[in-house]
Amino acid sequence: MSWGVTWGTKTEEKLLGFPCDRYIVDPDVAYYRGITIQAPPEVIFRWLCQMRVAPYSYDLIDNLGRRSPRTLTPGLNELSVGQHIIDPRSGFELVEFEYDRHFTIRTRKNTVVSRIFGDMAASYLIVPQTSNSCRLLVKLVVRYPRGAVGWFMRRVLPWGDRIMMSRQLLNFKKLSEQVSSEDK
């Protein structure tokens, strides 16, 4: 099970405070993901804002085959709490953010997503290492639905999220580093 719970994070990073912890008290599980990106916080954050229109993982699976944009879309960094993330059908909304620091989302209540996956909140936390290098850390906290669906998700979600989120973070790394190198 640990393969699905943690990817790319260090023990001390899991001890950091993540905003998502304020949204789901006593979660059933917490998943941790992390990657080092050779780009400044403002570039990485700008790519996180792109999640307003696309998931940036495996587009064939979770974006109905549409390719996530490979260039920054003007205006997507104009954030407000309550905005849909990915698209209105995804069931996720922006619940908290701090420019160039974190981007926190949560499942909307009474959506197909919340009924299948449960109550989830995730924080994408940017931790600067140097002037042009950051760790992008993600903590996902989950309260599974009850009954047979919850039993099934306890077994499937760690693996599925690990696969999808690692692809998403690798894409954010590639795109952020590409933009950062173009600025040089």
For residues 98-117, give the mean pLDDT: 91
**pTM strictly above 0.85:** yes
- Is the pLDDT confidence value at 1 over 60? no
For residues 14-34, give the mean pLDDT: 95
Question: Who contacts 152 (Cβ-Cβ below 8 Å, separation ≥6)?
Answer: none
Q: What is the pLDDT of residue 22?
A: 96
Interval 39-56: pLDDT, tens = 999 999 999 999 998 888
With vertex at residue 20, the alpha carbon angle to CA 141 and CA 127, rounded to the nearest 5 degrees, is: 110
Is there a contact between 155 and 35 (Cβ–Cβ < 8 Å)?
no
Range of the domain at 146: 2-182
Is there a contact between 168 and 56 (Cβ–Cβ < 8 Å)?
yes
Model confidence band, residue 2 (pLDDT cutoffs 50, 70, 90): low
The mean pLDDT value of the chain amounts to 90
DSSP helix/strand/coil, 20 = helix
Q: What is the pLDDT of residue 60?
A: 62
72: domain CATH number is 3.30.530.20
Interval 117-166: pLDDT, tens = 899 999 999 999 998 999 999 999 999 999 999 999 999 888 888 888 99
For residues 60-74, give the mean pLDDT: 76
Q: What is the pLDDT of residue 160?
A: 84
For residues 35-40, give the mean pLDDT: 97
Domain count, the chain: 1
For residue 140, give both structure tokens: 């996902």
Q: Please tell me what DSSP assigns to residue 89.
A: T
For residue 128, give both structure tokens: 């600067």
Is there a contact between 143 and 28 (Cβ–Cβ < 8 Å)?
yes
DSSP helix/strand/coil, 162 = helix
- Is the pLDDT confidence value at 184 over 60? no
